[in-house]
Structure 1
Amino acid sequence: MARKKEFDEDAALLKAMQLFWEQGYEKTSMQELVSHMGVHKGSMYDTFGDKQSLYVKTLKRYSEMLEELVNERMSDTRSAREAIQLLFEMAIQQQKEFPKGCFLVNTAVELAKHDSEAIDLVHLRWTSLEQLIRNLIVEGQQSGEFSKTLNAEGMSYYFLNALIGLRVMVKTITDREKLHQIIEMNLTVLE
């Protein structure tokens, strides 16, 4: 008969995510993970696998949390422009909640050449975000909010790039007014 786990798997995963997020993949040791998660080493390996497998699981969990948050906040938007602006505003709000920047961006910067599985997850999330932006632009065109001459696909690339850039900037810029000006300048292409 299998032993019952003596820890909350999701809580332990969130603790691992926090440590990876703060320190990065390379600087985080297995001993630090075991200690921070409050899980015995054997239980950690049995439940999450090796360090790389654990990292991938934290990325998947982060992506789920981000998608839930976006869906929740998007439900209150009244226009396509407001929804796109909200995506940018969320990047600034994350600065207060998570001063370490976006976990996906951090992963892309640190592991782009070293971990194809992690980078595939980053690309999957970014592709999903790109599709959301494209759909919002098409919605705005159909409602008359945006010009029908806008290239929705090209604009989705532009906004994803701008959003990733903003997520990098929030790691070092604390001037919220400057960040809001950047958002406003980006949104002017929709006019």
Structure 2
Amino acid sequence: MDFALDCAIAVFREHGFEGTSAQMLVDAMGIGRQSLYDTFGDKWLLYQKALQRYANAEGHAHRQALGSGERAIDGIRAMIDRVVREATTPCLGVGSIAEFGCSRPELAKINAAVGHSLRTAMIDKIRFSQADGDIAGTLDPDDVATFLIASFAGIRLTARGGAEPKALESLGRMALRSLG
């Protein structure tokens, strides 16, 4: 089931919910149409399960990057570098927000839960970075976390629009530089 769900995630990442047909899903997942419905319900329920799995994995990967390095700023840099490095692969989280905004409470709930966990970890690292003198102490940690999250979405959308890797790296450097 995890393999089939990962295949669905790949299709939804590339085409969004509306741009994905049931046939695209069964082809990618290697299952029959009836199996899709028997196992996952309808396309909407599959999308929710895909987003939940993707959001959990991305949140974990971000927190893992954030926890790396000797200094708190090293973890923040690692998280930014990860976003830049993977930006050319569409983000299902950003895609779901771009496609639905907050109009679908079930998606908003998934994104908010993962976002809250990540935001809390980021704020802690930002405070440690401020104590180390690597991030300006005059900046509000909550504002910095909001800025970084918005920067990540911007980097991913810029990549989706065809930006060159050098431009994405520049955006990552600018995000980090703005914290000093």
TM-score, normalisation: structure 1: 0.83
Q: Which residue of 2 aligns with 1:25?
A: 17
User: CA contact under 8 A between 2:84 and 2:172: conserved in structure 1?
Assistant: no
Match of 1:57 among 49, 56, 59: 49
- Match for 1:119: what amino acid? A
**1:14 equivalent in structure 2:** 6
Q: 1:86 aligns with which of 66, 78, 93?
A: 78
Structure index of larger Rg:
1
- Give the Cα–Cα distance (whole angstroms) in 1 for the partners of residues 104 and 46 of structure 2: 13
> Structure 1: where are the runs of 5+ without partners?
1-8
State the Cα distance separating 1:114 from its structure 2 match: 4.5
1:40-79: CA deviation from partner (whole Å, max 9, x where unpaired): 3332222211111100000111112213322443443222
Root mean square deviation, CA, Å: 2.0
Q: Secondary structure at the match of 2:69?
A: coil
Sequence identity (%): 27
Structure 2 counterpart of 1:165, one-letter code: G
Matched position secondary structure for 1:145: coil
Unaligned runs of 5+ residues in structure 2 are none
Q: How does 1:69-84 map to 2 (within 5 A)?
A: 69-84=61-76
Q: Which of 95, 103, 111 is the equivalent residue of 1:122?
A: 111
Kept in 1, the 8 Å contact 2:66–2:125? The answer is no
Displacement, 1:145? 3.3
- Equivalent residue pairs, number: 180
Q: Distance in 1 between matches of 2:82 and 2:67?
A: 14
TM-score (norm 2): 0.87
Separation in 2, partners of 1:147, 1:29: 48
